[in-house]
């Protein structure tokens, strides 16, 4: 199997890929959009991208890709995240801290407490930050312990995220829909298309009336106008299960657009 993922080596995406298939070949890309493109073009068997973090919420780039492209979630992987501060220099030498925007946000309190005068700089991935940091002692990276080993950096502090229970949910992207396993999850995108009292209540009633458990619901701008929103919904069950199938048929009558973005084994 050839898996596309965010690089370079040492990212949390690599941890997710290893959980999916330790023997897979990995193809690294500079950004998430390139991972998505590789799946669409068929140059990889599947792609792995982050979709949400327990501290910082959803990854907008991934949600937008699922909205805009003919691509499916075919699996999910939960990765525990423990950030380290990595550098070739000492703590008192650090002037610039580099990392992915999500990692910087997850360690906001640590940075404010210990590096009030340091400048933060965003990078495309945590491992890219580690790679850049390996060249300058006045730089430090927020990245994984594996990145320290890979790029020859010292761990100045570990487990530095603001909240210790830190998890990132990754999704596997592909073009096929996995067969039901009896322990599945379905993800959809809904655009109501009109603003009326009780619109969301009616939508949720289609699931509640069929005893379907929703594991996530969130709104995001539709990009069609100010105040116009899409709803991203995760539910238990496969799209071929009768209760889920009936619920989807019900909300299609209420909404302007319903897009199924995946049915896959639940983790």
Which tens digit of pLDDT belongs to each residue from 230-253? 999 999 999 999 999 999 999 999
How far the first Cα of the chain sits from its last, in Å, is 21
179 found inside a domain: no
Query: Both 8 and 64 in a single domain?
Result: yes
Q: Is 58 exposed, middle or buried (0-12, 13-18, 19+ CB in 10 A)?
A: middle
Q: What is the pLDDT of residue 226?
A: 84
**3-state DSSP call for residue 229?**
strand
Catalytic residues: 168, 170
Query: Both 198 and 260 in a single domain?
Result: yes
Please report, for the domain that includes residue 191, its CATH number. Answer: 3.30.70.260
Query: Both 49 and 65 in a single domain?
Result: yes
Report yes or no: 168 and 76 within 8 Å, Cβ to Cβ. no
189 found inside a domain: yes
Task: Give the up-direction half-sphere exposure of residue 4: CA atoms within 13 A in the CB hemisphere.
Answer: 21
Report how far apart, in Å, the C-alpha atoms of 57 and of each of 23, 29, 79 are.
30, 23, 14
In the chain, the number of structural domains is 3
Query: Both 143 and 242 in a single domain?
Result: no
Query: Both 193 and 258 in a single domain?
Result: yes
Query: Both 55 and 107 in a single domain?
Result: no
Query: Both 188 and 254 in a single domain?
Result: yes
Cα separation, 265 vs 173, in Å, equals: 13
| 69 Ramachandran zone, left/alpha/beta (phi>0; psi -120 to 50) | beta
Query: Both 190 and 249 in a single domain?
Result: yes
Cα separation, 152 vs 131, in Å, equals: 9
What helix, strand, coil percent values describe the chain, rounded to 5? 30, 35, 35
My answer on whether omega of the bond before 103 falls inside 30° of 0, hence cis, is: no
pLDDT digits (tens, 9 = 90+) for 48-94: 999 999 988 899 889 999 999 999 999 999 999 999 999 999 999 99
53 found inside a domain: yes
Q: What is the pLDDT of residue 78?
A: 96
Query: Both 214 and 192 in a single domain?
Result: yes
Query: Both 133 and 255 in a single domain?
Result: no
CA-wise closest residue to 144 among 39, 14, 34: 14
Q: Which two tokens stand for residue 221?
A: 């701008």
Q: What is the CA radius of gyration of the chain?
A: 20
Query: Both 68 and 98 in a single domain?
Result: no
Report how far apart, in Å, the C-alpha atoms of 2 and of each of 55, 65, 79, 259 are.
30, 20, 20, 27
Cα separation, 107 vs 67, in Å, equals: 30
Residues in the chain predicted with pLDDT less than 50, given as ranges, are none
Range of the domain at 193: 184-265
21 found inside a domain: yes
245 found inside a domain: yes
Q: What is the pLDDT of residue 52?
A: 94
Please report, for the domain that includes residue 141, its CATH number. Answer: 3.40.190.10
Query: Both 75 and 170 in a single domain?
Result: yes
Contacts of 86 (CB under 8 A, 6+ apart): 130, 133, 140, 141, 142, 143, 147, 148, 151, 153, 154, 155, 156
Report yes or no: 5 and 168 within 8 Å, Cβ to Cβ. no
Q: What is the pLDDT of residue 266?
A: 92
254 found inside a domain: yes
């Amino acid at each position: 199997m050839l898996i596309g993922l965010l690089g370079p080596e040492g990212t949390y995406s690599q941890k997710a890929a290893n959980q999916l298939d330790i023997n897979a070949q990995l193809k690294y890309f500079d950004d998430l959009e390139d991972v998505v493109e590789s799946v669409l073009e068929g140059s990889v068997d599947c792609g792995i991208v982050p979709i949400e973090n327990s501290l910082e919420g959803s990854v907008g780039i991934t949600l937008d890709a699922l909205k805009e492209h003919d691509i499916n979630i075919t699996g999910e992987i939960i990765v525990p995240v423990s950030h380290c501060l990595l550098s070739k220099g000492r703590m008192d030498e650090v002037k610039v801290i580099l990392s992915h925007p999500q990692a910087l946000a997850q360690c906001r309190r640590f940075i404010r407490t210990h590096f009030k005068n340091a400048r933060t700089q965003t990078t495309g991935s945590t491992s890219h930050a580690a790679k850049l940091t390996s060249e300058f002692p006045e730089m430090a990276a927020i990245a994984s312990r594996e990145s320290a080993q890979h790029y020859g950096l010292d761990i100045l502090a570990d487990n530095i995220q603001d909240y210790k229970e830190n998890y990132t949910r990754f999704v596997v992207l592909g073009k096929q829909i996995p067969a039901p396993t009896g322990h599945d999850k379905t993800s959809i995108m809904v655009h109501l298309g009109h603003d009326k009292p009780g619109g969301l209540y009616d939508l949720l009633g289609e699931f509640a009336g069929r005893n379907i458990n929703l594991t996530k619901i969130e709104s995001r701008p539709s990009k069609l106008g100010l105040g116009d929103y899409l709803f991203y919904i995760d539910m238990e069950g496969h799209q071929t299960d009768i209760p889920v199938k009936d619920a989807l048929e019900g909300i299609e009558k209420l909404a302007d657009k319903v897009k199924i973005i995946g049915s896959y084994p639940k983790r």
